[in-house]
Amino acid sequence: MTPGVPFPLGVWTEQGRIHAAIEYRGEKALYMRLFDLKDRGKKLDLPFPMDKGLGYVYAMTIEGIDPHSYGYCFLAGGQEFMDPYAVRTAGNEKWGDNKAIALFPRKREEAAGLRLLPYASLIEGESTFGAHSNEIRRPYNETILYLIHVRGFTKHKSSGVKHPGTFEGVAEKIPYIKSLGVNAVELMPPYDFNEVMPEPVYLTEAEAQEGMKSGAVKKRRINYWGFTGGNYFTPKNSYAAGGDGPASFKAMVEAFHKADIEVIVDFYFAPEACASFVLFCLYHWLLIYGVDGFRVMGEKVPVGMIMSDPYLSKTKIFFENAPEGDALTHSNKNIAVINRAYQTDMRKFLKGDEDMLHPFTFHLLEHPEEYSLINFMASYDGLCMYDMVCYDQKHNEANGENNRDGTDYNYSWNCGVEGPTKRKAINALRMEQLRNAFTFLMLSQGVPEIKAGDEFLHSQKGNNNAYCQDNSITYLNWENVEKYSEMVEFVRKLISFRKAHPVFHSREKKRMMDSLSCGYPDISFHGDQAWAPRFDNFFRHIGVLFAGAYEKNGEGVCDGDFYMASNMHWQSRRFALPNPPAGKQWVQAFSTLTGFKNERRPIEGSSFLVNCRSIRVLMTVEKGPDFAAAPDRDA
C-alpha cells in the first residue's frame, strides 16, 4: 500500500494495481475493507495514509491483491459505508433483498462515475468509454415521450415477456412502443436505489399494528418508485435478468437506439450530494451507457453548473422548475422543464371548471424561448389518466397511512359514479373525456409525455401515491391493449397526426401576428363569431386557428390550416367557421366523438356544431367536388 492518486474519486484498477480515492471529513482512521467474494466473513482492512491527503480527499494504491476475488467498502469509526462512486455492485441481484457490496472496476475510464452504500465489487467488463456517440439528439419539438417504470412495465403475468420486470423485459416491448409513434422513453430511477424501506415515522404504533393485522402495512415496505439516494453510478442489478445491471442496461439502451428511440433516465440526488458528484454521475451515464438525457431531481441540484457544463451542452436535461440567473440564455436548447401547471389547468378545463379559457389557450401555445416544456396529463404521482375520469377522491388506504398521504387536489371528475361502473353512458363519457385529454396533450406546443399504460386505461384503483405498491396496482395489465384497442389506435393516430403537421410542434413561439402578410396570423382565436373570441368566465368553448403558411414539413412544403374547436361545456355549441384561404375548403380531420372515422368530410356553411364535451379538428384541403353528402355524425 502506497499513497495514491487523489483524482478521480472512486476505485479503479490499472496494470494490476488498485487505486482508491475517497472524500472523508471525519477525524478517525479511515480504512478500505476488502471482502472475500467466496466467504463474506473473511475481511481485510487496509488503512489510508491520513497524512497524505489532498484537502478532504485521501487516496492509496494497492498491489498484490486479485480484484476478481474481493469486494469492498470503506470503514471509519467502526461504521461501514459504501463507495459513493462504485460503478458495479454485488449482493443486490434480488428485488427486495439488498445486501450489496461494491466490486472493483477493471478500467480507470469505468470509474468516471459514482458508487454508494452497501459493499462494492472490483470486477467490470471491457471499457465502453465513448458510448455517447450513439446519442440521437432529436430536437424537443419532434420528441414524443413515454414514462416507464422498469419493473412495473412488464412485471404483470400478462406482459408475455421472457424476463418480466427487467431491462430485458422493457427491451422486448420496444416494437409496441415504436408502434405508438413514441421516439423517447423516460425511465424512472434505473440506478441502484435501496427498495427496502422502514415503516414511516408518522404512523402511530397503534396504527402500524392495526395496519399489519389487516395486511395493509407490511413489516418492511417497498420503495417502488426509487426517488431516493443509492448507488448512483451503477444500473440496478435486480432490474437485470441475470443480476448484471450494467450489462443489461447497456444492451437495453443499444436496442432502443437501434429503434431510433432516445433514452432519458431519472435521478434523484439527496441533499448531501455535492455539485461535482452530480456532474460526475451524469458524465458516467452519458459516457459509459450512452443515454440521451436526464431528469435531474433533488433539493440542491446544481442547476447553473449543469446548464453551463460543456460536456452536457447537447444532452437533454429536464428540471423540475424553470431555471433562473446568468446561466439562462436563448441558447439552452437542451434544457426542458416539467410543466406541472399544464396538468392542473388542463384537467380543470377538461372537467368544465369556470374561467379556464385563458389558462387553456396559454398552455396550448406555451413555448418559452429559453427552454422547452414537458407537458403531461398524468405522471407517476397523482391519479393516472383513467382514474382521472373515474374518481373524485384519492383512495390510498392500501398504503397504510389512513389515506392521509398523497395530494388532495386531483382536479378529476368521475363522470357521475365513483370507481368502476357498468353504466354504458358513463363509460362512454369517460372514453370521450380521455380522447379529449389526449388531444389536448398532442396538439399543445410543448413536448407531450404519456405515462406508460394510460393509452390502454391502466387503473391504480384511485391510488394517487403508489410509491410503495409493488403489485397489481402499479403493474401494467397488457390484456388491456386488446380490450381497449380503440383507445390505443386513437392515440397512435393522434401521435402520427401531430408528427405529420408542424403547426402543432413549432420550433419557434407563436406570435399571434400576420408576419408573412398572408392574410392570417400564425394563431388566432374564434368562438360564436369568427375573429371575435369570448373569454368570459362562464364560457367553456373556444376555437383556435393554426395557419399552415408559417410552418413547413420535412419536404419544405407549407402545412395546411387547422381549426381546433374545443367545447368542454355540458351543452352542444355552434362555432363560427372562418373563411378558408382562396381555393381551399374545410374538411374534418378527426373528432373526439367519432375519432378518425369521419375524416375528410367537407364542412359547409358559416358555422358548425360541436357536441358537448368534445373536440372537432378541421383542416383545409384543395377545393373539390362535394364528395361527402353523408350525415355529420359529430353533430
Question: For 3-18, what is each residue's pLDDT tens digit?
Answer: 998 988 999 888 888 9
Task: Say what the pLDDT of residue 582 is.
Answer: 87
Average pLDDT estimate for 551-576: 92
Alpha-carbon distance of 416 to 429, in angstroms, equals 10
Task: Say what the pLDDT of residue 601 is.
Answer: 81
Task: Say what the pLDDT of residue 631 is.
Answer: 62
Query: In the chain, where are the structural domains located?
Result: 145-404+447-499, 523-622
Alpha-carbon distance of 113 to 282, in angstroms, equals 8
**Sign of the four-CA dihedral 22, 26, 27, 29:** negative
The percent of residues above 90 in pLDDT, for the chain, comes to 73
The angle at the Cα of 386, spanning 383 to 390, to the nearest 5 degrees, equals: 85
Q: State phi, psi for 481 to the nearest 5 degrees.
A: -60, -40
Alpha-carbon distance of 320 to 298, in angstroms, equals 9
Question: For 333-371, what is each residue's pLDDT tens digit?
Answer: 899 999 999 999 999 999 999 999 999 999 999 999 999
Please give the residue that has the higher pLDDT: either 630 or 569. 569
Task: Say what the pLDDT of residue 121 is.
Answer: 53
The percent of residues above 70 in pLDDT, for the chain, comes to 89
Alpha-carbon distance of 340 to 378, in angstroms, equals 9
C-alpha cell at 455: 393509452
User: Regarding the domain with residue range 523-622, which homologous superfamily does it belong to in the CATH classification?
Assistant: Golgi alpha-mannosidase II (2.60.40.1180)
- What string of DSSP letters covers 278-297? HHHHHHHHHHHH---EEEEE
Answer yes or no: are the C-beta atoms of 336 and 374 closer than 8 Å. yes
Q: What is the CATH number of domain 145-404+447-499?
A: 3.20.20.80
Task: Say what the pLDDT of residue 499 is.
Answer: 97
Alpha-carbon distance of 333 to 330, in angstroms, equals 7
Neighbours of 166 (CB within 10 A): 28
Please, which pLDDT band fits residue 202 given cuts at 50, 70 and 90? very low
Alpha-carbon distance of 151 to 237, in angstroms, equals 12
What's this model's pTM, rounded to 2 decimal places? 0.92
Question: For 583-622, what is each residue's pLDDT tens digit?
Answer: 899 999 999 999 998 677 888 889 999 999 999 999 999 8
Average pLDDT estimate for 442-446: 97
Instruction: Report which residue type is found at 243.
Output: G
Residue 344: its H or E element: helix 340-350
Average pLDDT of the chain is 89
Answer yes or no: are the C-beta atoms of 262 and 293 closer than 8 Å. yes
Lowest mean pLDDT among 46-60, 194-208, 238-252, 564-578: 194-208
**137: region left, alpha or beta (phi > 0 left; psi from -120 to 50 alpha):** left
Question: For 295-319, what is each residue's pLDDT tens digit?
Answer: 999 999 999 999 999 999 999 999 9
Contacts for 141 with CB less than 8 Å, ≥ 6 apart: 372, 447, 505, 506, 507
Give the torsion through C-alpha atoms of 501, 503, 509, 511, to 10 deg: 170
**Number of helical H runs and strand E runs in the chain:** 13, 30
The angle at the Cα of 240, spanning 235 to 246, to the nearest 5 degrees, equals: 35
Answer yes or no: are the C-beta atoms of 19 and 61 closer than 8 Å. yes
Average pLDDT estimate for 260-264: 98
2, burial (CB in 10 Å: exposed 0-12, middle 13-18, buried 19+): exposed
Task: Say what the pLDDT of residue 99 is.
Answer: 78
Alpha-carbon distance of 212 to 206, in angstroms, equals 10
